[in-house]
Amino acid sequence: MDRWLFGGKIWGEWTYRGRNLGIYEFAHDLNRSDWRLIHKHEEKEFTECKEPMGEITLPNSFPIPPLQILFAKKACEKAGVPFHEEQKRAPLKLCIDPEFQMLTPFIKQAEPAKKGTSIYEEVDPKVYLDLYGKEPPVKVEAWNIGPASFTPRFSPADDVKVKPQLSS
């Protein structure tokens, strides 16, 4: 750090809601108003957490909406492929907000305990709300995942009757 505390690098032991995230270099996130130094004798009291963050368990799949199931059955029928019950669910690939990227080691995926026809029946909203704390964020970001695309899931391997479609 320079003597005016405007630039430089700083390393610290990062504790987030009672979970130790290890040593972190705060060089690119450094803003003097965001940080304060804690004396060594006050450190234990400052980092003590009465309610540490629990494990974040998210489902590894989600139910496909009923209309999409109907379309999938029609596509299977058209392609000559049998429709199975396991095709009523789609795999869930997590896209973690950069704000919570440091929590990736604590986020686990598992088979949902109860299965339903809606993702809202299967997921405990408390898991998501606990990430933000007592106040939900007011800043809404646009999702930058690229253009929409459709990939047929039920076409036979040897004779492709349905081709993938991309939005322009």
What is the residue range of 125's domain? 56-154
User: Do 27 and 98 reside in the same domain of the chain?
Assistant: no
Q: Residue 134's pLDDT band (boundaries 50, 70, 90)?
A: low
Confidence of residue 160 (pLDDT cuts 50, 70, 90): low
Helices (H), the chain: 40-47, 66-79, 119-122, 125-132
The one-letter amino acid code at 129 reads: L
**Does residue 161 sit within a domain?**
no
Confidence of residue 10 (pLDDT cuts 50, 70, 90): confident
| More confident of the two residues 68 and 1 | 68
- Structure tokens, 11: 């390393």
- Phi and psi for 63 in degrees, rounded to 5? -75, 140
pLDDT in tens, 93-132: 888 878 778 888 888 999 988 888 888 888 888 877 777 6
In this structure, is residue 159 part of a structural domain? Answer: no
Same domain, 3 and 41: yes
Query: What's the confidence (pLDDT) of residue 71?
Result: 93
In eight-state DSSP terms, residue 141 is: P
Let me know if residue 11 belongs to a domain.
yes
Within 13 Å of residue 29, how many CA atoms lie on the same side as its CB?
Answer: 9
Q: How many CA atoms lie within 13 A of 143 on its CB side?
A: 6
Beta bridge mates, 23? 13
Do residues 94 and 137 share a domain?
yes
Closest residue by Cα to residue 97 from 47, 57, 139: 139
When divided into structural domains, the chain yields a total of: 2
**Domain identity same for 74 and 123:** yes
Contact indicator for 75, 154 with CB cutoff of 8 Å: yes
Whether the Cβ atoms of residue 94 and residue 58 lie closer than 8 Å to each other: yes
Give the mean pLDDT of the chain: 77
